[in-house]
């Protein structure tokens, strides 16, 4: 094989790789799902402590709401989720129905809500074509003396 | 012999960060058409790197009698593909097996997801997106470049490698900024490192010198070093290909003091500081004649360090290489030149990084080497993707900067008297239109005025004024103005040194 042929072969291979990638993109689509047994959803809902975990989430669109008894003024949030695709949000309202937190689920990060009214809080998870796993922990917290 | 080139190098060393880095093509006109050139593959380059030339090695064989397998190497497609996979598998393995990163848990499902879901601008830190991705792209580039492919054939590999990584080697969705930074930045950095690594090598050397050269080359270009090792080339004595040696090379190191004054909000808050400043410029190739030769036959790398300060040690890093040039007249006094650049700036006025293409007219007045010589540059700067630090944007990750394409102009004028006194004025203006981040547009300017005096072939002194300004126009948030001014006094060391014979008084 001469030099010219080898060059052509190289370019053909590069072009073929690009073409496969380009064609593959519109060829795939995933139907929207809801959470099921495969997602191993576990909720721990205690006074002053709340945790939700779920895994194997694949293109899920759903809303999950919980009431949680928080004796604290605010909630400390421990994010350990991983949701690379879609939009997954956490919304927290206090006993006065004020929104204290509205943000995306994060990977390995500490956060906190705004200060609010202790009592029965509302915790809502909104999943929109989400992929990944959820692990969020809330703990009652008070400002330091 | 080296006068023409060194004059060019001196002028480069005198340019302001933003201006100098953007005026590579302009240097083409510094040399007169009939200027003497250094012929052959080994002019001054090894000495510049502090290395002995081939002829200095006692064990060196006469180059003319040696075979030269590297002069026209075969194209090894499968070896190049294996290298590219190695470059992908190495970081992936570290993150999968050692640090257990969730994004590295790839498989058929993640591949399907990445195909089906839309691309997303990622929120990685500036360092990851603007430094690590171009470096990864450089490794993709050198997978092909060190396996017999030329510049243009190798230039496709960073893009292909980036697409492979984005789709198949991480769970995160593909990111357009990663593709551009890897594909374009990888070409600039890849060819620069390739040429520097080849400059470091000497196939005629043996013993300890050969070992250190191979190690140095591998540090500059790890994938190239790996290929030489497994092919048994690290100890093989042969001739050096002519293309491994530039027609000329020069480094200029400036060390000195810098007074920095910065202000926010149109001067309402102003602070100043005293800093040390070190600047190094490497000019590879003949900026006059190499511009129209193979890509990156002429390139410039520049790094600026300063401290103490709150902008970090690295103030500037640029790599800029020639792609093509067209002479507009028979004497070559006017030339249209095209170049590819990778830029990073970090000063109190703005932090910016990006890849760009530059095209423009460069004209000479007078003749280099005579009493007076001058040059003007009018360049168009097309930013493919720029990252400009935002005053407001903060992603859920580590990103605090806006992304967007941009346009700019680069104007320069220089004059040289008897190769001893040098004056430079330059201006660079850049507009970045944000397409991801805060809804905004960033306007960045740089102005330089500099004077330099060369007392000998190796030592010079100079002073300069540089002004940076930024106006960030935010749609729904207050606009921000910031500026920084530097006055710099410095001592210059030319490496290996200016040539003898310059017309001085």
pLDDT tens, residue by residue, A90-127: 999 999 999 999 998 888 788 899 999 999 999 999 99
Pick from B113, B153, B160: which is nearest to A85 by CB? B113
What's the structural domain count of chain A? 2
**Segment B70-95 mean pLDDT:** 94
Q: Averaged over B27-42, what is the pLDDT?
A: 29
Task: Quote the pLDDT of residue A98.
Answer: 95
Can you give the pLDDT at residue B429? 93
Searching chain A, which residue's CA lies closest to the CA of residue B74? Answer: A3
Q: Which of A7, A10, A29 sits opposite B116 (nearest CB)?
A: A29
Cα gap B338→B299, rounded to integer Å: 12
ipTM for the complex shown: 0.73
Per the model's pLDDT, the better-predicted residue between B11 and B227 turns out to be B227
Assign B106 a pLDDT band (cuts: 50, 70, 90): very high
Instruction: With a cut of 90, say whether residue A29 has pLDDT above it.
Output: no
CA A77 – CA A112 distance, rounded (Å): 5
Domain ranges of chain B: 3-38+247-261+276-495, 77-243
Report the pLDDT averaged over residues B201-229: 96
Residues A63, A11: one domain?
A: no
A109: number of Cβ within 10 Å: 13
pLDDT value at residue B462: 94
pLDDT confidence bin for B415, thresholds 50/70/90: confident
Is there a single domain that holds both residue A22 and residue A82? no
Nearest CA to CA, how far is A46 from chain B (Å)? 28
Q: What is the pTM of this model?
A: 0.81
Nearest CA in chain B to A59: B113
Does residue A9 sit in the same domain as residue A69? no
B160/A14 touch (CB, cutoff 8 Å), yes or no: yes
> Is the model more confident about B366 or about B164?
B164
Arithmetic mean of pLDDT over chain B: 82
Chain B residues near residue A7 by CB distance under 8 angstroms:
75, 153
Identify the band that residue B3 occupies on the pLDDT scale cut at 50, 70 and 90. very low
Can you give the pLDDT at residue B192? Answer: 95
What pLDDT is attached to residue B349?
A: 82
| Beta pairing partners, B243 | none
Exposed, middle or buried: residue B430 (CB in 10 Å: 0-12, 13-18, 19+)? buried
Q: What is the pLDDT of residue B151?
A: 96
**Per-residue pLDDT averaged across B82-93, rounded?**
95
Size of interface A-B (CB pairs under 8 A): 56
**Set of chain B residues whose Cβ sits within 8 Å of the Cβ of A17:** 160
The mean pLDDT of B128-143, rounded to a whole number, is 93
Give pLDDT, residue B32.
28
Q: Is the pLDDT of residue B289 over 70?
A: yes
Inter-chain CB proximity A84 and B115 less than 8 Å:
no
- What lies within 8 Å, CB to CB, of A101 at 6+ separation is A75, A77, A90, A91, A92, A111, A113, A114
Question: Over 70: is that where the pLDDT of B13 sits?
Answer: no
Greatest mean pLDDT range, B14-28, B57-71, B258-272: B258-272
User: Residues 49..88 of A with a Cβ closer than 8 Å to B: which?
Assistant: 58-59, 82, 84-86
- A10 interfacial to chain B (CB closer than 8 Å): yes
* pLDDT mean over B448-461: 89
pLDDT band at A24 (very low <50, low <70, confident <90, very high): low
Tell me if A82 and B102 make a contact (CB, 8 A cut-off): yes
Instruction: Identify whether the C-beta of residue A130 lies closer than 8 Å to the C-beta of residue A55.
Output: no
Shared-domain flag, residues A48 and A22: no
B172: chain A residues, CB-CB within 8 Å: 84
- What is residue B308's predicted lDDT score, i.e. its pLDDT? 86
Same domain (yes/no): A20, A51: no
DSSP structural state of residue A73: S
Q: Which residue of A has its CA nearest to B77?
A: A10
Say how many C-beta atoms besides its own lie within 10 A of residue B378's C-beta. 13
Rounded Cα distance between B429 and B315, Å, is 18
At the top level of CATH, the class of B3-38+247-261+276-495 is mainly beta
Is a pLDDT exceeding 80 seen at residue B56? no
Whether B113 and A30 lie within 8 Å, measured CB to CB: yes
Of all residues in chain A, the one with the smallest CA distance to B396 is A106
Contact B77 A13 (CB under 8 A): yes
Q: What are phi and psi of B324, to 5 degrees?
A: -165, 160
CA distance B145 to B398: 34
Secondary structure of A41-68 as H, E, C letters: CEEEEECCEEEEEEEEEEEEEEEEEEEE
B163 contacts on A by Cβ (under 8 Å): 18, 21
Q: What is the pLDDT of residue A12?
A: 67
| Cα–Cα nearest to B316, from B268, B349, B283, B267 | B349
State the pLDDT at residue A101.
94
Instruction: Tell me, yes or no, whether A57 and A100 share the same domain.
Output: yes
Q: Is B171 within 8 Å of chain A by CB? A: yes
Give the CATH number of the domain where residue A131 resides: 2.60.120.380
The string of pLDDT tens digits covering residues B321-350 is 999 989 988 877 788 989 999 988 888 888
One domain, residues A131 and A91: yes
At B298 the pLDDT is: 87
pLDDT reported for residue B363:
80
- State whether A12 and A41 are in the same domain: no
Q: Chain A contact for B102, CB < 8 A?
A: yes
Supply the pLDDT for residue A11: 65
pLDDT at B60: 44
* Cβ of residue A6 closer than 8 Å to a chain B Cβ: yes
Contacts of A107 in chain B (CB under 8 A): 102
Helices (H) and strands (E) in chain B, counts: 11, 12
For residue A106, CA distances in Å to B103, B125, B207, B285 come to 13, 16, 55, 49
| Residue of B113, B118, B154, B170 to mutate for A, most A C-beta atoms under 10 A | B113
- Domain encompassing residue A2: 1-30
Backbone angles phi, psi at B337, to 5 degrees: -130, 150
Q: Which of A6, A27, A106 sits opposite B75 (nearest CB)?
A: A6
Q: Does B116 touch chain A (CB under 8 A)?
A: yes
Smallest CA–CA distance from A86 into chain B, residue: B117
First to last CA, chain B: 20
């Amino acid at each position: 094989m001469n030099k010219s042929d080898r060059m052509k072969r190289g370019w053909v291979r590069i072009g073929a790789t690009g073409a496969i990638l380009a064609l593959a993109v519109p060829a795939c689509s995933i139907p929207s799902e809801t959470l099921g047994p495969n997602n191993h959803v576990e909720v721990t809902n205690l006074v002053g402590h709340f945790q939700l975990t779920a895994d194997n989430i694949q293109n899920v669109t759903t809303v999950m709401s919980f009431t949680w008894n928080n004796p604290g003024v605010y909630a400390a949030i421990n994010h350990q989720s991983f949701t690379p695709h879609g939009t997954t949000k956490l919304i927290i309202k206090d006993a006065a129905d004020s929104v204290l937190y509205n943000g995306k689920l994060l990977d390995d990060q500490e956060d906190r809500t705004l200060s609010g009214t202790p009592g029965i809080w509302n915790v809502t998870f909104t999943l929109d074509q989400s992929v990944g796993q959820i692990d969020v922990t809330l703990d009652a917290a008070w400002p330091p003396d | 012999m080296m006068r023409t080139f060194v004059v060019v190098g001196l002028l480069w060393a005198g340019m302001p960060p933003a201006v100098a880095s953007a005026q590579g093509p302009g240097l083409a006109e510094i040399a007169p058409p009939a200027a003497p050139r250094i012929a052959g593959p080994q002019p001054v380059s090894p000495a510049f790197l502090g290395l002995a030339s081939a002829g200095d090695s006692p064990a060196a064989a006469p180059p003319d009698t040696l075979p030269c397998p590297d002069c026209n190497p075969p194209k090894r497609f499968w070896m190049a593909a294996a290298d590219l996979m190695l470059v992908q598998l190495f970081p992936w393995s570290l993150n999968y097996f050692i640090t257990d990163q969730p994004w590295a848990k790839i498989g058929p499902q993640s591949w399907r997801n990445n195909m089906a879901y839309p691309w997303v601008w990622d929120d990685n830190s500036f360092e990851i997106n603007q430094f690590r991705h171009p470096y990864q792209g450089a490794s993709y580039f050198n997978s092909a470049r060190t396996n017999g492919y030329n510049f243009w054939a190798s230039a496709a590999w960073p893009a292909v490698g980036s697409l492979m990584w984005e789709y198949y080697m991480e769970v995160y969705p593909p990111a357009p900024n990663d593709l551009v930074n890897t594909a374009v930045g990888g070409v600039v950095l890849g060819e620069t490192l390739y040429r520097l690594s080849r400059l470091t090598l000497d196939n005629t050397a043996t013993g300890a010198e050969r070992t250190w050269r191979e190690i140095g080359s591998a540090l500059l270009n790890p994938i190239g070093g790996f290929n030489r090792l497994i092919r048994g080339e690290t100890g093989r004595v042969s001739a050096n290909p002519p293309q491994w040696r530039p027609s000329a090379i020069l480094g200029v190191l400036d060390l000195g003091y810098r007074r920095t004054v910065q202000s926010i909000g149109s001067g309402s808050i102003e602070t100043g500081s005293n800093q040390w400043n070190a600047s190094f410029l490497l000019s590879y190739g003949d900026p006059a004649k190499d511009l129209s030769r193979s890509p990156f036959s002429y390139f410039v790398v520049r790094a600026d360090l300063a401290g103490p300060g709150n902008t970090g040690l690295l103030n500037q890093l640029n790599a800029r290489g020639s792609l093509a040039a067209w002479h507009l007249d028979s004497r070559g006094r006017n030339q249209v030149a095209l170049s590819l650049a990778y830029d990073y700036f970090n000063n109190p006025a703005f932090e910016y990084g990006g890849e760009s293409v530059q095209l423009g007219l460069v004209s000479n007045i007078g003749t280099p080497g005579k009493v007076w010589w001058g040059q003007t540059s009018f360049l168009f700067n097309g930013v493919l993707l720029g990252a400009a630090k935002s005053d407001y944007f903060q992603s859920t990750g580590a990103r605090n900067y806006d992304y967007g394409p941009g346009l700019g102009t680069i104007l320069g004028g220089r004059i040289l008297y008897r190769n001893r006194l040098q004056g430079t004025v330059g201006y660079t203006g850049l507009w970045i239109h944000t397409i991801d981040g805060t809804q905004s547009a960033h306007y960045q300017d740089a102005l330089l005025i500099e004077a330099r005096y060369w007392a000998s072939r190796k030592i010079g002194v100079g002073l300069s004024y540089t002004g940076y300004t930024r106006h960030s126009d935010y749609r729904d948030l207050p606009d921000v103005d910031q500026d920084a001014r530097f006055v710099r006094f410095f001592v210059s060391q030319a490496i290996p040194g200016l040539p003898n014979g310059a017309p001085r008084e």
